[in-house]
Amino acid sequence: MRWLKIIMTDRLAIGIIIGLIIFGGLTPVFRAMVDVPYVGAYFYEMKTVLPRLNQQFFMISEVDCIGYYSYLRSLMIDHDLEFQNDFTLFGWPRRAQEKTDLGHTTNPWSVGPAILWAPAFVLAHLYSLLLNAVGHPVPLNGVSFVYDFFIVVFSMGSGLLGLIFIYKFLRFFFSAALSLTTVLAFFYASTLVFYQFHEPTMSHVLSVFAVSGFIYFWYDKFLQKRSGDWLWLGVWAGLIILIRSQNIFFVLGPLLAETIVMFKREQSVGFRWLLGPAQLLIMAFLCFIPQMLAWKFLYGSCFTIPQGEGFMKWGAPQIPSLLFSTNHGLITYTPIMLFCLIGFLLVNRVSKREQMLAGTFFLIFCCELYINAAASDWGAGWAFGARRFSAGAIMFAWGLGMFLRWSNYRQWLRYLVLSGVALLVIFNLLFYFQWAYGLIPRGEALTLTQYFSGKWQALTLWLTVLRQIFEVIFS
């Protein structure tokens, strides 16, 4: 590891992260799927799908993805918020018939992803117009491979930026080598690898981008923020909440921590200092107005639980199940999370900053745990792991970094921990392939046999499909 510390620089580390994400996104390595239109790799699609652009192949096919995208398509193409035709276009007629009390087609998903995707949609539409102008007719209704390509690339790019923010945040505490090791270990051993490559049109990689950016910029000027910094953070905060409203804890936690630190330092918090957090909250509220307007139109209230009153079981959170169940349990599905949480306890006791962050992150985790456990579908339906925790990638990666730093105090312990992390990466990737190929149930609890077995079958099937795809690419 010493040679790695010597040669590793920030530019090299970020270059490695960028290279691996681009490689994973453009090649079939993580997207070698069976019996799906996009098959697994854009190199493959360039050869087999692009000649048939007039056909409505779409990666945005799961109902959550459709819900997010429908805001954008409906506003840009239909100039309304009536989603019946949108859900019908994407093959979900049952969802199209579900109505709110005001008679509108219900859409419980958030508007944040649509706002982020807007530039990609505009580029896709302009490119589609160009293709039609030069004699290659493609749909202009927002439903084609062209729109899909731009949206997916934008989402993958956002996930990549999120990883870079995580790396830069870790560099406040660790060496370049340890920070890179932590980022890659967490990425490949957690749900992130799945949602980056397999389901980038869900909201999770966008949440990783927004939350990680907010935490990085917040800590970068800790106790040294000017008015412009607070307003900038307010925009990030608004974006975080627009993507997923429960992400508000990633805003309130850091604000509370900085207020407490300032109070302990000054023995008081004057109006002048409180003006900054107030600017942040006001800007965040202004940025949240699009979601409020959408809720008002669809449900009749600016603040609501769009899934319905019975969706949240506030008095009966399923915390043990959410942590340890084989139905997408946080620690069961992604055991690396146990190392991350233990890392919160391994901070430097001399460093007040590290203690402050550990307390802040643990408080946020507890809030997220309660909210996610109180949801009636705490298993999150068709999901790879406890996907609703994905937004907290930066704090979990920080915990993993603390755990890896602690293991460096003994050489034998370092090698033992790194070996364990490597095994968890392999386990997670094989689990990913099992899920993708339908070798295990995707929306319910696993049996112990399903949990522990089938990994070799997933590996051999993945290698077979990979070989077939490469044969097509190079034929």
Residues 220-266: tens digit of each pLDDT: 999 888 989 999 999 999 999 999 999 999 999 999 999 888 887 77
What is the domain count for the chain? Answer: 1
> Which distant-in-sequence residues (6+ apart) come within 8 Å of 235 by Cβ?
283, 284, 287
Residue 105 three-state SS? strand
Q: How far apart are the C-alpha atoms of 100 and 83, rounded to whole Å? A: 12
- Average the pLDDT over each of 292-296, 340-344, 420-424, 452-456 and give the range with the smallest value: 452-456
Report helix, strand and coil shares of the chain as percent, to nearest 5: 70, 0, 30
Q: What is the pLDDT of residue 427?
A: 95
What pLDDT is stored for residue 3 in this prediction?
Answer: 57
Residue 169 pLDDT greater than 80, yes or no:
yes
**pLDDT of res. 443:** 86
Q: What is the gyration radius of the CA atoms in the chain, in angstroms?
A: 23
- Structure tokens that stand for 131 in this block: 């293709």
* CA pair distance 76, 89, nearest whole angstrom: 15
Output the six-digit token pair for 322. Answer: 């959410």
Taking a C-beta distance cutoff of 8 angstroms, is the pair 421, 241 a contact?
A: no
Q: Is there a domain that residue 173 lies in?
A: yes
Q: What is the pLDDT of residue 367?
A: 97
Alpha-carbon distance 79 to 72, whole Å?
A: 9
Question: Is residue 79 included in any domain, yes or no?
Answer: no
What is the pLDDT averaged over residues 145-164?
A: 91
Angle at 8 between CA 6 and CA 10, to 5 degrees: 135
What pTM did the predictor assign? 0.93
Domain membership of residue 125 (yes or no) is: no
Q: Is residue 137 domain-resident?
A: no
- pLDDT over 90 percentage in the chain: 64
pLDDT tens string 276-314? 899 999 999 999 999 999 999 999 999 999 998 889 999
State both tokens at 294: 């959408």
Quick check: is 47 in a domain?
no
Quickly count helices (H) and strands (E) in the chain: 22, 0
In a domain, 456, yes or no: yes
| Residue with tokens 């506030």, as numbered in its chain | 314
Beta bridge partners of 375: 312
Calculate what percentage of the chain has a pLDDT beyond 70: 89
**CB contact at 8 A, 394 and 216:** yes
Q: Which two tokens stand for residue 125?
A: 């539409």
Burial of 33 (0-12, 13-18, 19+ CB in 10 A): buried
**Boundaries of domain holding 285:** 2-37+149-473
User: What per-residue confidence (pLDDT) applies to 387?
Assistant: 95
> Residue 105 forms beta bridges with which residues?
99
Whether residue 284 is contained in a domain is answered as yes
Model pLDDT, residue 269: 59
Would you say residue 51 has pLDDT above 50? no
- Averaged pLDDT, 38-52: 42
What pLDDT shows up at residue 267? 61
CA distance 178 to 388: 27
Q: What is the mean pLDDT of residues 59-63?
A: 64
Q: Is the pLDDT of residue 141 over 50?
A: yes
* Rounded Cα–Cα distance for residues 318 and 320 (Å): 6
**Residue 43: inside a domain, yes or no?**
no
Residue 57 pLDDT > 50:
no
- Rounded to whole angstroms, the Cα distance separating 175 from 197 reads 28
